[in-house]
Amino acid sequence: MNRISFYRVLQNGLLNYWRNFWLSLAATAIMVITLFIMSSLFVIHILTDLSLSTIQEKVDISVYFQLGVSETVIDQIKTQAEKLSEVKSITYIPSVTARERFKELHKDEPLLIESVEQFTDAENPFPASLAIRVANFEDYPKIINLFQDEKFNPFIKKITDKRDIVDRLNRITTGIRNFGFVMILIFSIITIIVMFNTIRLTIYNRREEIEIMRLVGASNWFIRGPFIVEGIFYGVSGAIITAVILYPVLLALEPRISSFLEVDISQYNFLKSDFLILFATQIVAGIGLGVLSSLIVIRRYLKI
């Protein structure tokens, strides 16, 4: 196909797009909805990975000691744990510090604060503890098993960890992703159906032109090309509209997302290179849906 033919195919494809304006508008709107859901799933995936990595850095194992255990014994246990390669860091929290943290946490409850202040340092009911962070999330069971050894029973009162928070977040995000994939599949099918009918109507309206092009010896691709280009226009316009809507929404929600996740997402590429990747994905997905719809219609209704 020479350059002139190529431009004519593009021109005819754009003309097809505008001839049935309201149908084209409906097809583009469905495309926007599909790409918006797809983009939202992509954004959720990025935020989930960011949230999980942030939470995993904060999640630790808390080892609470029996009241009266000397700091010498605690220091020996701490030293022993620090030798493990799985341990990233260990922070010792004395009982006095634990009491002050409790008071700070409940500073708006004067009765509770007053009851805590009744205890002297010698009577302090808050146990000393070790806050242990591991190098990898998978290493938590090994560290917990270490402190559950019988030799530590006389010293350790309780061991807690917050892995259930990460597990719960994983389950929630998996459910959201699965629901998102189902919605993408449903709206992709709807998009293909709408564009299928739109392009089919275009073929019907241009049946006389197509017959004339056949008679003058136009190539198959010259006849089919405008309908494929029409499908591409649906995809590209849908992707552009989706990006124009999505970017300001994400920009406006960025402070709220940072506050909810307790992490400054502005320091990442969330609205920079990641959004460019998202836009490129929208373009590819939109063109893919448009071309697929066009090929199905051409194969079924354009007999040349």
Tell the CATH topology of 60-161: Alpha-Beta Plaits (3.30.70)
Burial class (CB in 10 A: 0-12, 13-18, 19+), 208: exposed
- Contact (Cβ atoms closer than 8 angstroms) between residue 41 and residue 194: no
Q: pLDDT by residue (tens digit) across 150-208?
A: 888 888 888 887 667 767 777 877 787 788 788 888 888 888 888 888 888 877 777 77
Q: pLDDT by residue (tens digit) across 82-124?
A: 888 888 888 888 888 887 877 777 777 777 777 767 766 666 7
Domain boundaries, the chain: 3-55+166-301, 60-161
Residue 72 predicted with pLDDT over 90: no
Q: Which amino acid is at 272?
A: K
CA-wise closest residue to 98 among 144, 59, 62, 147: 62
- Contact (Cβ atoms closer than 8 angstroms) between residue 171 and residue 52: no
Burial class (CB in 10 A: 0-12, 13-18, 19+), 213: middle
Q: In the structure encoding, which two tokens stand for residue 281, read together?
A: 């994905």
Q: What pLDDT is recorded for position 268?
A: 64
Q: Residue 92 — φ and ψ, nearest 5°?
A: -90, 130
Q: pLDDT by residue (tens digit) across 253-288?
A: 877 877 766 666 666 666 677 788 888 989 999 999
